């Protein structure tokens, strides 16, 4: 289906499936959309195609993760920039209360942390469900960016 095509970065197949079925934000049985899979795997072209066809950049998994959470955790800067340009909310939290900055900081993705802090400086002060700011969960490689 479209989910495996998006996961694999198969743009022609994604386009074919969109033209046949037309619903870019349909979740699979696990609750993930094609945009979640493409974002997680860094497939910029597939993400662009899905967004052009109306995929919701704020779609949520059962655990509350957005495509931006997935791209942030996996370190895909260009995908994160694209999602932000399409209105993704970097302050959106998952069921653990974590933002995309929490995800990027935890994994040590410097460029993503810098992007989020430029875009929304207030993200640095958002606490997760356990009361931790992004600085508190950050990989040592990025802690200096989050010092306030």
Give me the numbers of helices (H) and strands (E) for the chain, helices first please: 10, 0
Pair (1, 73) in one structural domain: yes
Per-residue pLDDT of the chain (148 residues; tens, 9 = 90+): 999 999 999 999 999 999 998 789 999 999 999 999 999 999 999 999 999 999 999 999 999 999 999 999 999 999 999 999 999 999 999 999 999 999 999 999 999 999 999 999 999 999 999 999 999 999 999 999 998 6
Pair (84, 97) in one structural domain: no
**Domain limits for position 110:** 91-148
**Given this model, what pLDDT does residue 148 score?**
64
Q: Would you say 47 and 78 are in contact if contact means Cβ atoms under 8 Å apart?
A: no
**Given this model, what pLDDT does residue 23 score?**
86
**Given this model, what pLDDT does residue 78 score?**
98
Pair (15, 65) in one structural domain: yes
CATH code of 27's domain: 1.25.40.20
Pair (78, 109) in one structural domain: no
- Number of domains forming the structure of the chain: 2
């Amino acid at each position: 289906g479209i989910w495996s095509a998006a996961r694999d970065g198969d743009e022609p197949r994604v386009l074919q499936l969109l033209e046949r079925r037309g619903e870019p934000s349909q979740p699979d049985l696990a609750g993930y959309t094609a945009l979640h899979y493409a974002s997680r795997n860094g497939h910029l072209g597939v993400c662009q195609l899905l967004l052009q066809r109306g995929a919701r950049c704020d779609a949520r998994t059962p655990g509350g993760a957005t495509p931006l959470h997935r791209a942030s955790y996996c370190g895909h800067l260009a995908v994160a920039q694209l999602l932000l340009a399409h209105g993704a909310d970097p302050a959106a939290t998952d069921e653990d209360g974590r933002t995309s900055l929490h995800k990027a900081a935890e994994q040590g993705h410097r460029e993503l942390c810098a992007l989020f802090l430029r875009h929304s400086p207030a993200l640095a002060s958002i606490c997760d469900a356990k009361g931790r700011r992004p600085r508190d969960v950050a990989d040592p490689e990025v802690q200096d960016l989050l010092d306030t």
